[in-house]
């Protein structure tokens, strides 16, 4: 398989199903940001973190490829007239979202309760989690915008929202594991 096709040299790209759209189309922005997020998650996975977190992040990376494929599919060409799937791509499901929620609950069990907003940072690995969380929120905003123009499966929006929560809790857990002090944001009174 050649890496270059030259079909996008005019600034367009093909969705699953063959429809060509401009490379700056909101759908391309949405799944391109998912790809960026996946790369940041790979960077977190490459850090010295507990193996359970490494394995969970690998599952999430696979899920993000699935989610990207869902976003890269032309909704008009994804189904036959009788409503059946035309293109055979995997899906994000309620079980996929349940997995994330279970991981969030597992990590939170040993964390102190939050009493303040937390400033990102304290350790490079923790900072990578916060960067990934911010990219995840951008992917969510783009997917919500796309959903206003063309229907997006609700599981996509739910998964991205839950993933940003997961990344926040992962940052807190790694802060705890690495014995780094959480920096609380305490607003200074202006006077």
Q: What tens digit of pLDDT does each residue of 49-80 get?
A: 999 999 999 999 999 999 999 998 877 665 54
- Whole-number Cα distances in Å, 84 to 76, 88, 91: 12, 10, 14
The CA-CA-CA angle for residues 151, 93, 80, to 5°, reads 50
In the chain, what are the domains? 20-75+90-183 (1.20.1200.10)
The pLDDT of residue 15 is above 90 = no
CB contact set of 127 (below 8 Å; sequence gap of 6+): 120, 121
- % of residues, the chain, pLDDT over 90: 64
Instruction: For residue 110, count CB atoms less than 10 angstroms from its CB and return exposed for 0-12, middle for 13-18, buried for 19 or more.
Output: exposed
Counting every residue written for the chain, the total comes to 191
Mean per-residue pLDDT for 31-58? Answer: 97
Residue predicted with more confidence, 125 or 18: 125
The pLDDT of residue 81 is above 50 = no
Mean per-residue pLDDT for 96-111? Answer: 97
- % of residues, the chain, pLDDT over 70: 85
The pLDDT of residue 87 is above 60 = no
What pLDDT, on a 0 to 100 scale, did the predictor assign at position 7? Answer: 64
d(CA 142, CA 130): 19
CB contact set of 25 (below 8 Å; sequence gap of 6+): none
Global pTM? 0.87
d(CA 124, CA 9): 38
d(CA 103, CA 169): 9
What pLDDT, on a 0 to 100 scale, did the predictor assign at position 115? Answer: 85
Q: How confident is the model at residue 82 (pLDDT cuts 50, 70, 90)?
A: very low
Mean per-residue pLDDT for 103-120? Answer: 92
Average pLDDT along the chain: 88
CA 152 to chain centre: 15
**Helix 124-149 vs helix 154-177: angle between axes, to the nearest 10 degrees?**
170
Q: How confident is the model at residue 2 (pLDDT cuts 50, 70, 90)?
A: confident
> In 3D, which of 37, 62, 17, 187 has the Cα closest to residue 116?
187
d(CA 169, CA 45): 15
d(CA 60, CA 91): 13
Mean per-residue pLDDT for 130-149? Answer: 97
What pLDDT, on a 0 to 100 scale, did the predictor assign at position 116? Answer: 87
Residue predicted with more confidence, 115 or 4: 115
């Amino acid at each position: 398989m050649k890496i270059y096709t030259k079909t996008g040299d005019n600034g367009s790209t093909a969705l699953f199903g063959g429809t060509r759209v401009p490379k700056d189309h909101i759908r391309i922005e949405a799944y391109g940001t998912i790809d960026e997020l996946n790369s940041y998650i790979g960077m977190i996975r490459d850090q010295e973190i507990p193996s359970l977190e490494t394995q969970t992040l690998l599952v999430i990376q696979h899920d993000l490829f699935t989610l990207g494929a869902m976003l890269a599919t032309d909704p008009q060409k994804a189904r036959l007239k009788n409503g059946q799937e035309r293109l055979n791509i995997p899906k994000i499901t309620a079980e996929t979202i349940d997995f994330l929620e279970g991981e969030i609950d597992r990590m939170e069990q040993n964390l102190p309760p939050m009493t303040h907003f937390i400033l990102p940072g304290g350790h490079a690995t923790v900072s990578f989690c916060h960067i990934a969380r911010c990219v995840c929120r951008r992917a969510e905003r783009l997917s919500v915008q796309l959903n206003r123009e063309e229907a997006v499966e609700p599981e996509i929006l739910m998964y991205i929202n839950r993933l940003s929560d997961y990344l926040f809790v992962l940052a807190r857990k790694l802060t705890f594991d690495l014995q780094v002090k959480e920096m609380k944001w305490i607003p200074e009174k202006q006077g």
